[in-house]
Amino acid sequence: MTDMDRNRTQTTEGQGEQSQTSTRKATRRGGGDPGTRGRTTIADGVVEKIAGMAARDVVGVHAMGSGISRTFGAVRERVPGQTKSVTRGVKAEVGEVQTALDLEIVIDYGVSIADVARAVRENVIAAVERMTGLEVVEVNIAVSDVKLPDEEEEEPEPRIQ
């Protein structure tokens, strides 16, 4: 008798000996499609990152956020170990099946603001819906500045000289 056969025919107190040929009943666990078991939640920050990356991909978008947030972001980026904040200029409200977004952008001088806004809206909606499965109900865009060709990048004065 092999070890496997011995394991199948063990005697337990009060139950007697089980037959060697007995098989377990195939039990079906859960019900329905495995994809519908459980709940998925998506944090606001996740949607903000996706939207921020998608908005920056559009030609004509110079930067995201207002002048003050860009200045603080530039200071933050100078700290060793810090990376560029992709959520700057993006605010998301995420529900169970829908999301709404507010974007604040800086446009390059000479491009059509209406065309850039339309392209940003389309790109953001496509990226967020594809990656999250959420329905994007609105994307509000505020153009806070125009980057002129002769303007220098906003960089804060170094504290130590």
Task: Provide CB contacts within 8 A for 67, sequence distance 6+.
Answer: 144, 145, 154
pLDDT tens digits for 56-102?
Answer: 999 999 999 975 544 544 554 555 555 557 899 999 999 999 999 99
Check whether 50 has a pLDDT greater than 50. yes
Rounded distance between C-alpha atoms, residue 65 and residue 84, angstroms = 13
Report pLDDT for 80.
59
* Contact (CB, 8 A) for 58 and 123: yes
For the ranges 12-16, 18-22, 65-69, the one whose mean pLDDT is highest: 65-69
* 79/73 Cα distance (integer angstroms): 10
- Give, in order, the Cα–Cα distances in Å from 148 to each of 17, 39, 123, 138, 143: 88, 47, 24, 29, 14
Alpha-carbon Rg of the chain, whole angstroms?
Answer: 29
How distant, in Å, are the alpha carbons of 92, 94, 110, 121 from that of 114?
22, 26, 12, 10
How many Å apart are CA 19 and CA 32, to the nearest integer? 34
